[in-house]
Copies of this chain bind each other. A is one copy, B any other.
Amino acid sequence: MFSKTCEYGLRAVIFIAQQAKTNKKVSISAISEAIDSPQAFTAKVLQQLTKHKIVQSIKGPFGGFFIEEKNLKTISLSHIVQVLDGDGIYTGCGLGLQQCNDKEPCPLHFKFINIRENLKKMLENTTLLELSSDKNIANYYLKN
């Protein structure tokens, strides 16, 4: 479904968001430990997300990554996926055709529209605010 880059990115952002209430900054080593991901690779992913203002970072002692609490409700999973995997998941053809649209559809085009729309809505409607709730933290896992 998503690339490894995107998987790590989503898990990392969710973890950072879950620490946002205390306005706590988290280091890359803490993140990769919490989500069980390769540290250096995850650092690269977070670089991209920092450039795109999804997360913020501060260098040096007591530095790390964080998300301002007021941004939690405006950042959706759709943003993150868009940055890391592009919009292929929304617009790409299921059979890999370059041009596939209502005028020139592949045999599965209209069958995929519904599924795509579901996925899109889910990603757009799921915000970091929801994912950082206490209930969420208590019931769901970011690693095995």
Give every chain B residue within 8 A of A104 (Cβ-Cβ).
Answer: 141, 144
Determine whether A30 belongs to the interface, using a CB cutoff of 8 Å to chain B: no
Give every chain B residue within 8 A of A100 (Cβ-Cβ).
Answer: 141
CB distance from A120 to the nearest CB of B (A): 10
Residues of A within 8 A of B (CB): 1-2, 4, 7-8, 10-11, 14, 77, 89, 92, 94-100, 104-109, 111-112, 114-115, 118-119, 122, 126, 131, 136, 139-144
CB distance from A119 to the nearest CB of B (A): 5
Give the contacting residue for A105; candidates B11, B115, B122, B141; CB below 8 A.
Answer: B141
Give every chain B residue within 8 A of A115 (Cβ-Cβ).
Answer: 115, 118-119, 122
